[in-house]
Amino acid sequence: MLKFFEPSKIFLVTSKAPKYVVVLFIIVLSIGLVEALILSPEDYKQSHTVRIMYVHVPAAWISLGIFSSITILSLSGYIFKIKNFFLIAKSLAPSGLIFNIIALVTGSIWGKPTWGTWWAWDARITSMLLLGLFYVLYLTTWRLYEDREQAKKITTLITILGIINVPIVKYSVDWWNTLHQTASINILSKSTIHSSMLFPLMIMTAAFALFSLLIFLMKYNTELIKIKNKGLDRL
């Protein structure tokens, strides 16, 4: 069982995965773009501007999901002393930050024709920006601290503080009077978004998830190579 955690054993699997993920990503993204840009209807109020949603919303979802995953991995790694969990969390963070930036930028582009301004200190926008700062703080800590054990403690604390912000991002439109509309997609109740828009949204989310997986694998493999070069037998 312990042999599985040897860097050489893990790398043997993860080094082959990216090429398959790339192919799957291209296929899913192609379908998603056709659905989002051609087949999905325009909005009766926002016209074709609404198509920004197919990038903005999935990017926000992925960013929130990755930070939640990082928190679970960091806490589990700290409690159960599993080093590989920290390595996975560290490797996930860059893609989470990338999608956070994409969500903020596309939100700003979407906001200009919809709200008449590039930026507003709206509750959801502000909390999403705060999430990005937690990502930056998390990644910076790993770079600044040479003592890995100290870095693990601090990054775990950062994720605990940051995860408090995740439900704020999600429910800010319900708790406060914001420029954002209330949620159109609900798991526990009926969604108000039409299926002709929901389908391409799900496809684009799948494409972005595959892209984040690709970034993760590249980062994770790089970290494994560093471990192998240091002559460590297992994580």
Does the pLDDT of residue 3 top 70, yes or no?
no
Across all residues in the chain, what is the average pLDDT?
90
Q: What is the pLDDT of residues 186-234, one digit of tens each?
A: 766 677 788 999 999 999 999 999 999 999 999 999 999 988 887 665 5
pLDDT band at 171 (very low <50, low <70, confident <90, very high): confident
Instruction: Give dist(CA 204, CA 196) in Å, integer.
Output: 13
Instruction: Give dist(CA 166, CA 228) in Å, integer.
Output: 35
Per residue in 107-123, is it b (16+ CB within 10 Å) or e — as a string?
Answer: beebbeebeeeeebebb
Q: Which residues contact 140 (CB under 8 A, 6 or more apart)?
A: none
- Helical packing angle, 83-115 and 53-80, nearest 10°: 160
Is residue 137 within 8 Å of residue 96, measured between CB atoms? no
Backbone CA torsion sign across 50, 181, 187, 170: positive
Q: What is the pLDDT of residues 76-133, one digit of tens each?
A: 999 999 999 999 999 999 999 999 999 999 999 998 998 889 988 988 999 999 999 9
Q: Which residues contact 3 (CB under 8 A, 6 or more apart)?
A: 9, 234
pLDDT of residue 16: 93
Predicted model pTM: 0.92
Say how many C-beta atoms besides its own lie within 10 A of residue 67's C-beta: 28
Is residue 36 within 8 Å of residue 54, measured between CB atoms? yes
Is residue 110 within 8 Å of residue 180, measured between CB atoms? no
CA 166 to chain centre: 12
Tokens 């954002």 correspond to 180
Tokens of 127: 């909390």
